[in-house]
Structure 1
């Protein structure tokens, strides 16, 4: 079965670039977080003004090629693994042109979190089902 990714488009702003003219490395973390938020709000059908039931606890990013002001990046995000109380995601960032070259690869880890109790909890089966229904597989 083919895995489907959630796609988030980001227009590169001038302020996203550094003195060398390409996207500054910390900005990719903003792109990664935006992609995660878009995916989760969409899949859970949660208004953006509401908190998600999980928190991001770890991120990493590998820079592959340059992206510059005026270009558009498409971030393909998908969950790769479910743990007991957590899940892991991959975020592949492509330039939005016909060749779709990869400019960065990111990963993130998220933990289910109850804000009222200030405690983690197991990943609900309902959440896993929604992800697998959309993605098709991990």
Structure 2
């Protein structure tokens, strides 16, 4: 399955060339990714990982910028679960303005044991939920 989150480009999101700043693409992806994970795993609270011994660390991000984005355009960020491993998984995304692809990429999240301050295996229940999501058909 996939999840869609929209953002309207604010004037403050622009760079000196009046395009959406590259950093803001990452911020939009972050907002969509967190909303998506909250829907998949309601107990996940990225703002308070200390409340749970297990959390997720954003370890890697890859973005291909495809087309500039301008003030007041609406950006749709589509997220889906990609490769799920023993202690990590990918959240894949694309960003579109109407049907125009403006960026695509992925982020890797790693399981993290806050008590031990070390990478940790994904709990079986979480890994199974992510694998089921990755196998589900996408929304057209």
Give the TM-score range, shorter chain.
Answer: 0.7 to 0.9
Gaps in structure 2 of 5+ consecutive residues: none
Q: Report Cα offsets for 1:47-94 as digits up to 9, x if no partner.
A: 564338211011111110111110111111111101221111211001
Match runs of 1:58-137 below 5 Å = 58-95=60-97, 97=98, 100-135=99-134, 136=136
Does the 8 Å contact 1:32/1:106 carry over to 2?
no
Q: TM-score, normalized by length of structure 1?
A: 0.85
Match runs of 1:6-45 below 5 Å = 6-45=3-42
The count of aligned residue pairs is: 132
Tell me which stretches of 4 or more aligned residues in structure 1 moved more than 2 Å: 46-52, 128-135
Root-mean-square deviation over aligned CA pairs: 2.0
Return the offset for 1:21: 1.5
Gaps in structure 1 of 5+ consecutive residues: none
State how far apart, in whole Å, the 2-side matches of 1:5 and 1:125 are: 22
Q: Secondary structure at the match of 1:116?
A: coil
Return the offset for 1:132: 4.1
